[in-house]
Structure 1
Amino acid sequence: MSVILKAENISKQYRLGNVGTGTLGDDLKRWWYSIRGKEDPFLKVGGVNDRSAKATEDYIWALRDINFEVKQGEVLGIIGKNGAGKSTLLKLLSRVTSPTTGSIKTKGRIASLLEIGTGFHPELTGRENIFMNGAVLGMTRAEIKAKLDEIIAFSGCEMYIDTPVKRYSSGMTVRLGFAVAAHLEPEILVIDEVLAVGDAEFQKKAIGKMNSLSKGEGRTVLFVSHNMASVKSLCDRGIVLENGLSVYEGGVEKAINFYLSNEKRIIPKDLSTVENRSGTGLAKFKSFEIIHTNGQTIENVLSGDTVIFVFTLDIINPNKNLNVDLGFSIHSPDDELISVLYSSYQNEMMQVEEDGRCIIKCKIADLPYNEGEYIVKGRIECDKVESDWPKVPLGKFNVVKGDFYKTGNLGFNGKSKLLIKGEWDLIN
C-alpha cells in the first residue's frame, strides 16, 4: 500500500499566556534574522510541554520533532495523557493550524472531527450544515445530495434535521458531525476524543463505520482516544506521545502496553501532589489503599472475598457542614470501564463538619471480579458540585481466582471480567 500521509520533523511552538506568535518585539527580531538569512532565534528556546512543571520560559513546544508515515487503509491510534500533544498533532494534520517547523504531505481529501460542532454554523439547520461541510471538503452539490439520506439516517437526527444546530445537544452535534465526516468520502478521516460524548450505541456504530471505511473502502483513519479498548479493536498501529514528544511507535498492542506501563509507574502514594486534577478543592484525595477485613493492607485479593476501599481526604470546610459524595470506578488495564459506585447511589452522603483530614471507607462483599489487574479512579462532589477529579488513577489491585461461588468451584477461566451468581429453579 502507498503512503498517503507523511509527517517530517513537525514541531509546534506556542507563547504562553498570549494569542498569536508573540510580541511586536519578537516579530521584529524574527524579521531581522530572516532578512539576514539566519534561523529564527526563537526556535532555539522553549520549554518542554510538561503541564505538571512550573513554566520557566515564555515559549513552549507543544510538539517537537514528530516523524511518522501512514499508509492507505491503515488505522493509526494516537495515545497519551491529557496535554501530551495529541489534539495539537491532529490540528496540524487537519491543517487547522500550521507547524512551526517541518512539513506534512498528504494525498487526497482530509475530513476531521476535532471538537464538538467544529465547522458547523449554529444558526443553520442540520441539513444546511451538511451541504456546507461537503462544500468545504470540495464536493459538488450533486455529490452531497447523493449521500444526504444516508448521512441523515446514520446520524439518527432525522426529526431535527431542519432545526438550527444551536438547539442540538452535544451528543446530537457529534452524531451529525461524525456522519458528515465519514460519509463524504474523504481519503483521510481524523477523529479526536469527541466520540466519548456519544452514547454506547452510537460509539459502537461509529467504530463499526470506521472499520468498514478502512477495511472495506481502503480509507485511512487517524484516531485519538483514552479508551484503550476502542484503540485496540480499531487500530493497526499506535503512536504514544508524552510531553510533546513521540516516545513509542509500533503495533497497537505494544503501543498500548508501553503507554499503560508508563501510567502505572506514576501512580503516586501521596495523591495531594497530583497537579492534573479539576474541582473546587473543598475535599481532595490524599491517599487510597485496599485493606482486608483483618485490617491488613493488600494489593492481591481473592475473587469472592470481602475487601474495604479506604479513601483519605483533605477537607477545607468553610461552611462547617459539607455533604461529600465520593465516587470511584474500576477499569481494566485497557481502561475499559467495568463498574462505577458513588455513595449517593446508596443514599449515603457523608456530612463533614470539620477541616483537616477524614477517612471514608467502602466495604465490598463478595468481590465480583475475575482474575486480573484492575485500576481504580476517583471523583468527589461536595454539595453536588465537583470538588476533586484527579486525572490519574488512585491505585490498582490484582485479583486472584478465589471461591466466589462458595462451592469450591473456582469457575470459568476466561475473558469475562465480572462474576455473577444466580438463583436456580426447575419447573417441570
Structure 2
Amino acid sequence: MTGTVIAVENLGKVYKLGNISSRTLRDDVGRMLARIGGNGGAATNGTPVTRARREGNLFRALQDINFEVAHGEALGIIGQNGAGKSTLLKILSRVTAPTTGSVKVKGNVVSLLEVGTGFHPDLTGRENIFLNGAILGMSRREILAKFDEIVDFSGVEEFIDTPVKRYSSGMYVRLAFAVAAHLEPEILIMDEVLAVGDAAFQRKCLGKMGEAAKQGRTVLFVSHNMVAVQSLCSRALLLVDGRIAANGPSSEVVPQYLASGFAEANAERVWSDASTAPGNDLVRITAISATPGSDLHDDLISMQSPVLVEMEYLRLQADKVFHLELHLVNQEEVVLFYASPGLCPSAPGAYRSRCTIPGDLLNSGGYRLKVMLVEDESRAVWLDEATTSFSVEDLVERKVGWMARRPGVIYPPLQWETMKTDSGRGA
C-alpha cells in the first residue's frame, strides 16, 4: 500500500450535552457473546465533554479539521487536555461518527484509546485477543501464531483466562497494547494510555511503536510526552480548542506547543462546584496552587525561592483506603519527582495538604502539577483535569557567558573551589 491512507476534510464534531452513546462494534459483539454465556450486557459508556466551546446545549469538540496521513508515516497529535485529541482519534477509529465533513481510511485499523475501550470486560484476556483478531479479519490460525508473543509481551500470562474486568488498569493496558501492536495492523492508533504503565513498560511500548513505523505501518500517536513525540513522529498536529493550530515537522510544532501552553500558566485552580470537580466517588479535588514560598517577589516564582504547593480535596467515603500523589513534570513532560502526603484521613470531609519544593532546585521554565489517585496501593487513576501550571524564572540571572536557558531538569547552585596546583597531571 502506498500514497495517502488517511484523508480528513472539513471535519467537525458537535455533541448535544446529555447522555451520549459511544457503543462500538466490539461492545455489540461482546454483549452478544456474554448473553450466549449467560451473562448480562455491559453498560454503555458516556462520552465526557468539558465546559469549553459550548453554544447553548451544544459542545463543538472539533471544527474545520483538514489533514492527510501518508502510508508509513508516524504522526503525533498534541495539545492540552480538552483540545479534541481523543475525539479525533475516536472518529478515525470509527468509534464515533463525525457531525460534518468526511474521513477516508485505507487499510485495517487497530486503536488503543482510553482504558476501557477495545476489550469486553466480561470476556477473558484470551477471548478478547481472539475477538480483536477476528474483528481485524484474521483467521484463528493467524491469531494463534501471534498468541504466545502477545501474552509474553504483556506479562499477564497468569491471568490470561481471567475476565479483564478483574484486571488492574496496568494489566489491562499492557494486554491491550500487546494485542494492538502484535496483530500487525496497517494503521496503529494510540491514545495517551501508556501513562498507566510503569517506566520499563513505557519504554517497551515506544520501542514497539518505533519498530512498527520502521516496518512501514502508519502510526498515529497522542501523547503529553513531548520527548516521545519528537523521537517517534516525523510530523505533529497541534490542536487548540478543537481546531488545528499547527501542522508540520514535530521538531517545529512541539516547541511551538510548549511555548504557547506554558505561556498561559495557571498557578492556581479552584473548582467551586464539587459535583463537577475532578475526581470520582472517593475524592474530589477542589483546589491546587503553586505560589512563591518567600516574600521576595509577589507574583513570580524564582529559581532561588521555594515553591509552596497546596491541594484541597473532599473525601466522600470512609470505607476505602487511598492516597493522592502529586507528579511534577517539566515542559518536555519529563517527571521530575512525585510526592504524597500519605494515606488520606479515613473520616469523610474537607482536607488541605501542603508541601514546599525547596529553592535552588528547579531550572527556569514551565512546570505542571498532575494529581494521581492510588486506591488500595494497587489501582492508579490520573485525575486529568486536576492540573496546574506554573513558571520558574531566573531572576538573579546566574547564567554565565550566554543568555539561553541552561539545559537540565534541575539547576542547583553547586559550591566550586578552584586553586592553582604546583604541576598538572601528565605535565
Common fold, TM-score beyond 0.5? yes
Question: Could you tell me how far 1:360 is from its partner in structure 2?
Answer: 5.4
Q: CA deviation at 1:150?
A: 1.1
CA deviations 1:264-285 (Å, max 9, x no partner) are 2322466448999525668624
Find the residue that maps to 2:12 and give its secondary structure: strand
1:160-216 CA-to-partner distances (Å, cap 9, x unmatched) read 22222222211111111111111111100011112211111111101000000001x
Question: What is the identity, as a one-letter code, of the residue corresponding to 2:241?
Answer: N
- Aligned residue pairs: how many? 363
Question: Does 1:255 find its partner at 2:233?
Answer: no
The answer to whether the 8 A contact 2:268-2:287 is kept is: no
Q: For residue 292 of structure 2, what is the aligned residue in structure 1?
A: 290
Q: Distance in 2 between matches of 1:363 and 1:247?
A: 34
Task: Report if aligned partners of 1:271, 1:394 keep a CA contact under 8 Å in 2.
Answer: no
Quick check: 1:417 aligned with 2:409?
yes
CA shift, 1:341, in A, is: 2.9
Letter of the aligned partner of 2:10 in structure 1?
A: N
Counting only pairs closer than 5 Å after superposition, residues 9-158 of structure 1 correspond to structure 2 as 9-19=10-20, 51-53=50-52, 55-158=54-157
1:5 corresponding residue in structure 2: 6
Question: Residue 396 of structure 1: CA displacement?
Answer: 1.2
2:99, 2:271 → 1: CA distance? 33
Equivalent pair of 1:117/1:177 in contact (CA under 8 Å): no
- Deviations 1:286-319, CA, capped at 9 Å, x for gaps: x543245x744584745xx5x32235788999xx
C-alpha spacing 1:119/1:377, structure 2 compared with 1 (3 Å): closer
Within the candidate set 354, 369, 373, 1:377 is matched to 369
SS at match of 1:78: strand
1:402/1:148 Cα in 2 relative to 1: closer, same or farther (>3 Å)? same
SS of 1:250's partner is: strand
- The Cα of 1:60 is off from its aligned counterpart by 2.7
Aligned to 2:278: 278
Give the Cα separation in 1 of the matches to 2:277 and 2:259. Answer: 21
Paired residue for 1:331, among 317, 329, 332? 329
Name the SS of the counterpart of 1:393 in structure 2.
Answer: strand
3-state SS, counterpart of residue 328 of structure 2? strand
Seq. identity, %: 41
Give the whole-Å Cα distance in 2 for the aligned partners of 1:53 and 1:116: 24
Q: Which residue of 1 aligns with 2:391?
A: 396
CA drift at 1:235: 1.4
1:327 Cα deviation after fit: 6.5
Shift of 1:114: 1.2
Distance 2:162 2:411 in 1: 46
Query: Normalising to structure 2: TM-score of the pair?
Result: 0.72
Q: Does 1:218 align with 2:216?
A: yes
Instruction: Compute the displacement of 1:144 (Å).
Output: 1.0
Q: Give distance in 2, aligned partners of 1:354 and 1:251.
A: 47
Quickly say closer, same or farther: Cα 1:52–1:392, change in 2 above 3 A.
Answer: farther
CA distance in 2, matches of 1:179, 1:221: 15
Answer whether contact 1:157 1:176 (CA < 8 A) is retained. yes
Alignment partner, residue 185 of structure 2: 186
In structure 2, distance between residues paired with 1:316 and 1:191: 33
Shift of residue 399 of structure 1?
5.1
Q: 3-state DSSP class of the match of 2:98?
A: coil
Could you tell me which of 222, 240, 243 is aligned with 1:242? 240
- Please identify the structure whose Cα radius of gyration is greater: 1
Q: List gaps (5 residues or longer) in structure 2.
A: 23-47, 316-322, 415-427
SS across alignment from 1:278:
coil
For 1:67 and 1:79, locate their aligned partners in 2 and report how far apart those are by CA, in whole Å: 15
- Matches of 1:166 and 1:281 in 2, distance apart? 24
Supply the distance in 2 between the matched residues of 1:173 and 1:398 (Cα, whole angstroms): 41
Note the alpha carbon deviations across 1:107-138, whole angstroms, 9 max, x for none: 21101111324232333322222111100011
**Deviation for aligned residue 1:419:** 6.5
**What is the one-letter code of the residue matched to 2:235?**
R
Give, in whole Å, the separation in 1 of the partners of 2:292 and 2:10.
46
In the TM superposition, residue 61 of structure 1 has moved relative to its aligned partner by: 2.2
Structure 1, unaligned stretches of length 5 or more?
A: 22-48, 318-324, 422-428
Distance in 2 of aligned mates of 1:268 and 1:149: 48
CA offsets 1:233-282 (integer angstroms, 9 cap, x no match): 22111111122111111111322222222222322466448999525668
In the superposition, the TM-score normalised over structure 1's length comes to 0.72
Structure 1's 328 and 177: CA in aligned 2 closer, same or farther, altered over 3 A? closer
What is the root-mean-square deviation in Å for CA atoms of aligned residues?
4.1
Q: 1:400 to 1:10 in 2, by over 3 A?
A: same
Distance 2:169 2:262 in 1: 32
1:151 Cα deviation (Å)? 1.1
Letter in 1 for 2:287: K
Instruction: Supply the distance in 2 between the matched residues of 1:344 and 1:418 (Cα, whole angstroms).
Output: 25
Q: Distance in 1 between the 2:166 and 2:209 partners? A: 27
Contact 1:190–1:223 (CA under 8 A) maintained in structure 2: yes
> Which among 240, 264, 267 is matched to residue 266 of structure 1?
264
Amino acid at match of 2:292: I
Q: 1:364 aligns with which of 350, 358, 364?
A: 358
Instruction: Report the Cα distance in structure 2 between the residues aligned to 1:172 and 1:313, rounded to whole angstroms.
Output: 30
Tell me the distance in 2 between the aligned counterparts of 1:95 and 1:154: 27
Q: Which deviations, in whole Å up to 9, do the C-alpha atoms of 1:341-369 show, x marking residues without a partner?
A: 34449x9x9xxx999xx99562616x344
